[in-house]
């Protein structure tokens, strides 16, 4: 009697809450700070033993990539467990299902991720910020040791895919960013060369906004940030004015436009504050641009007379024009992505077979040992495991031929591991427990 080790089938899943189906009011509820990523992983692990997680949180999406083992055929149940954990952790009382996309299986998830890093799933097609955002999410999980082997491989393959697409297409050439789109919309609404502009935040989006304004020869820009030193340093490098964060709201009486882009988890300016400000401004027109998730500006502010509010979702018209402009490059990118999807699928299918093959070889070896000839010692040398040298040689030949034959047949029957139903049957045939 011996024990057969069950093969472990590693599976991955994805929950995506993105700008295509989810408004900013929902997306901001599911934004994750780094500390929350660890907390959520631990929270889920108490409900269900996952083997890895990567959480991407940007202004346009929150995506949860997760990995788990030995639950073939239970993908839907596991998805519902993680969705339940998500709404509980974020204390979201309304229905999330209409705003979340579910994906399972290596092909669907690799296609989504490879398109995303190549800029095809971004609000702004071809934009390059998503590359750094994905790398930050990946390396955070790796550093915190919450990254499983399949997630590690799929993300590394995505970095390779993104680089290949950008090197062999013009998808990013002249691509607009969210910051660029915001500046273009501001230009249409105002004579920005005659406007005074306040920029709140010194993150990547805010810096890009300022650079686009400077390209348009706008110099009347004032910068503030919750960390005064960061704002002052960046302002000095571009010869801009700087105002301390504790005093920036007093500056509203002097400006025409304010662009907010910070990582604050709560609004920085309220309805009542803007209402009071507008009275002091004598209802002089004010444009507020909110490029943050969660939002920095309360949404109902747009109802105040004289206030024009542009949120990140208000950039879609300009984005659609950008998509049409890049259509031919998108088709080239899709072909490159398809090749990388095929490579990854072959790798994961081979990996799914690996454990089964090793277990089958062990089982064949044990069966041959049980049914081999009795040990003989008539003057013949005995090896360390009790077999004569001749018997050991015959044993090895039989084991090699029989196990190799079985492995070949299994590879054919399962299409090199791609046929998940066949994989499940193979598991049942060779599982004697």
Which residues are designated catalytic? 59
Token duo for residue 32:
């994750």
Alpha carbon distance 380, 396 (integer Å): 18
| Number of neighbouring beta carbons within 10 Å of residue 212 | 20
d(CA 146, CA 41): 8
Say how far apart CA 83 and CA 257 lie, in whole Å.
39
Q: Which CA distances in Å does 222 have to 2, 177, 207, 365? A: 75, 22, 12, 76
Strand partners, 13: 66, 104
**What region, left, alpha or beta, does residue 356 occupy, with left being phi > 0 and alpha being psi -120 to 50 degrees?**
alpha
Q: Are 305 and 278 in contact (CB under 8 A)?
A: yes
- Closest among 195, 184, 193, 200 to 290, alpha carbons compared: 200
Tell me how far apart the alpha carbons of residues 238 and 376 are, in angstroms, rounded to a whole number.
Answer: 89
CA distances from 311 to 25, 208, 214, 424 (A): 11, 17, 22, 49
Strands 61-69 and 10-18: antiparallel
How far apart are the C-alpha atoms of 209 and 240, rounded to whole Å?
A: 14
Q: Which residues contact 282 (CB under 8 A, 6 or more apart)?
A: none
The answer to whether 151 and 159 are in contact (CB under 8 A) is no
Q: Which string of DSSP letters, residue by residue, matches 361-380?
A: HHHHHHHHHHTSPPP--SS-
**Residue whose C-alpha is closest to residue 32's, from 86, 79, 70:** 86
By the 8 A CB rule, do 50 and 68 touch? yes
Assess contact for 79 and 34: CB atoms under 8 A.
no
């Amino acid at each position: 009697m011996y024990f057969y080790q069950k093969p472990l089938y590693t599976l991955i899943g994805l929950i995506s809450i993105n700008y295509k189906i989810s408004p900013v009011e929902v997306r901001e509820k599911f934004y994750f700070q780094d500390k929350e990523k660890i907390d959520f992983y631990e929270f889920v692990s108490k409900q269900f033993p996952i083997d890895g997680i990567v959480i991407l949180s940007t202004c346009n999406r929150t995506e949860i990539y997760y990995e788990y083992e030995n639950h073939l055929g239970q993908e839907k149940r596991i998805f519902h467990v993680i969705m339940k954990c998500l709404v509980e952790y974020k204390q979201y009382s309304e229905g999330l299902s209409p705003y979340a996309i579910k994906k399972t299986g290596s092909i669907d998830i690799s296609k989504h991720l490879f398109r995303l890093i190549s800029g095809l799933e971004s609000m702004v097609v071809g934009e390059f910020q998503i590359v750094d955002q994905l790398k930050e999410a990946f390396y955070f999980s790796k550093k915190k040791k919450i990254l499983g082997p399949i997630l590690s491989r799929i993300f590394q393959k995505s970095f390779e895919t993104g680089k290949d697409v950008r090197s062999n297409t013009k998808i990013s050439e002249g691509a607009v960013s969210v910051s660029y789109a915001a500046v273009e919309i501001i230009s249409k609404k105002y004579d920005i060369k005659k406007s005074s502009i306040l920029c709140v935040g010194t993150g990547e989006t805010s810096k890009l906004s300022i650079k686009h304004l400077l390209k348009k020869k706008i110099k009347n820009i004032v910068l503030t940030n919750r960390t005064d030193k960061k704002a002052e340093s960046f302002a000095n490098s571009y010869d801009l004015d700087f105002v301390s964060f504790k005093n920036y709201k007093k500056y509203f009486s002097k400006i025409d436009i304010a662009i907010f882009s910070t990582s604050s988890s709560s609004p920085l300016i309220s309805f009542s504050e803007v209402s009071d400000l507008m009275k002091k401004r004598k209802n002089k027109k004010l444009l507020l641009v909110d490029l943050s998730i969660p939002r920095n500006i309360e949404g109902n502010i747009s109802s105040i007379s004289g206030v024009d509010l542009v949120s990140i979702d208000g950039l879609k018209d300009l984005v659609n024009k950008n998509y049409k402009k890049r259509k031919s490059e998108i088709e080239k990118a899709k072909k490159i992505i398809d090749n990388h999807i095929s490579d990854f699928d072959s790798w994961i299918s081979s990996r799914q077979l690996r454990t089964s093959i090793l277990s089958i070889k062990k089982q064949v070896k044990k069966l041959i040992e049980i049914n081999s000839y009795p040990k003989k010692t008539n003057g013949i040398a005995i090896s360390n495991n009790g077999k004569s040298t001749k018997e050991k040689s015959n044993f090895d030949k039989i084991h090699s031929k029989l196990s190799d034959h079985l492995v070949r047949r299994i590879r054919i029957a399962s299409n090199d591991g791609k046929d998940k139903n066949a994989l499940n049957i193979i598991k049942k045939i060779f599982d004697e427990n």
